[in-house]
Chain A
Amino acid sequence: GAGVSQSPRYKVAKRGQDVALRCDPISGHVSLFWYQQALGQGPEFLTYFQNEAQLDKSGLPSDRFFAERPEGSVSTLKIQRTQQEDSAVYLCASSLQEREQFFGPGTRLTVL
């Protein structure tokens, strides 16, 4: 079956633009995670959903970052007024409850 998919795979934004990154989790996975991976670093937790409920958003770096999963399936990570420090790979992962997390290919965001 299909794994976690993310789109777009690459995004270039000018500083100050808003961006939206999409994640399609594995069908039936109730848990969905977003991570940010800066160059040369490991992934860092951003936020966690269980179905449509956002249970933890403690990792979001600022109020410019917003995530939603309105129907408990597809999720969107939105970044408003992008800054250069937002340049990173954004990873989405899904899992069955507290089981293994399966990662998507990531979206590489470059802010000029």
Chain B
Amino acid sequence: AQRVTQPEKLLSVFKGAPVELKCNYSYSGSPELFWYVQYSRQRLQLLLRHISRESIKGFTADLNKGETSFHLKKPFAQEEDSAMYYCALKGGGSNYKLTFGKGTLLTVNP
């Protein structure tokens, strides 16, 4: 079975502060990990995926297989980063299902 855990429901930081949204997963094989974001009144959209190893809007996430984690980080938070963030896992091979965590609501205060 595959499972994604986001331990923080709410996270509040000040503008310019570093932010880290935690994600841990459980999967027996080699998963693909994603971060999705949902801004207020907008649809769910892909932020980044671990296989791309890219930085999007200043966010990065590294897959740590030893700790089964995929934490999302940004060194200097901006007010426009305020949103709901979901970590998601897709199993390897032909496994197409996305398994989501419960989400973390990030608020960046001015």
Provided the pairs A103-B43, A103-B44, A103-B45 are in contact, do residues A43 and B96 lie with their beta carbons within 8 angstroms? no
Instruction: Kindly list chain B residues whose C-beta atoms are within 8 Å of the C-beta of A35.
Output: 98
Judging by beta carbons under 8 Å apart, are A91 and B97 in contact? no
Judging by beta carbons under 8 Å apart, are B97 and A40 in contact? no
- Closest approach, in angstroms, between the C-beta of A66 and any C-beta of chain B? 19
Judging by beta carbons under 8 Å apart, are B102 and A41 in contact? yes
Judging by beta carbons under 8 Å apart, are A43 and B46 in contact? no
Does B103 make an interface contact (CB < 8 A)? yes
Does B35 make an interface contact (CB < 8 A)? no
Instruction: Kindly list chain A residues whose C-beta atoms are within 8 Å of the C-beta of B45.
Output: 102-103
Does A104 make an interface contact (CB < 8 A)? yes
Judging by beta carbons under 8 Å apart, are A42 and B97 in contact? no
Q: How far is the CA of A4 from the CA of B102 in the complex (A)?
A: 23
**Residues B57-73 near A (CB distance < 8 A):** none
Q: How far is the CA of A7 from the CA of B90 in the complex (A)?
A: 27
Contact of A106 among B43, B49, B98, B100 (CB under 8 A): B43
Judging by beta carbons under 8 Å apart, are A44 and B46 in contact? no
Q: How far is the CA of A54 from the CA of B60 in the complex (A)?
A: 35
In the complex formed, the residue of A with least CB distance to B93 is A98
Does B86 make an interface contact (CB < 8 A)? yes
Contact of A42 among B43, B94, B100 (CB under 8 A): B100
Provided the pairs A100-B46, A103-B43 are in contact, do residues A42 and B96 lie with their beta carbons within 8 angstroms? no
In the complex formed, the residue of A with least CB distance to B87 is A42
Provided the pairs A91-B44, A103-B44, A103-B45 are in contact, do residues A43 and B98 lie with their beta carbons within 8 angstroms? yes
- Closest approach, in angstroms, between the C-beta of A44 and any C-beta of chain B? 7
**Residues A70-95 near B (CB distance < 8 A):** 91
Instruction: Kindly list chain B residues whose C-beta atoms are within 8 Å of the C-beta of A98.
Output: 94, 96
Q: List 7 A-B residue pairs with CB atoms under 8 Å apart, sorted by A's residue number.
A: A41-B102, A42-B88, A42-B102, A45-B98, A48-B96, A102-B45, A103-B43
* Additional A-B contact list (13), CB under 8 Å, known A40-B102, A91-B44, A106-B43: A31-B96, A35-B98, A42-B88, A43-B98, A45-B97, A45-B98, A56-B96, A56-B97, A59-B97, A98-B96, A100-B46, A103-B44, A105-B43
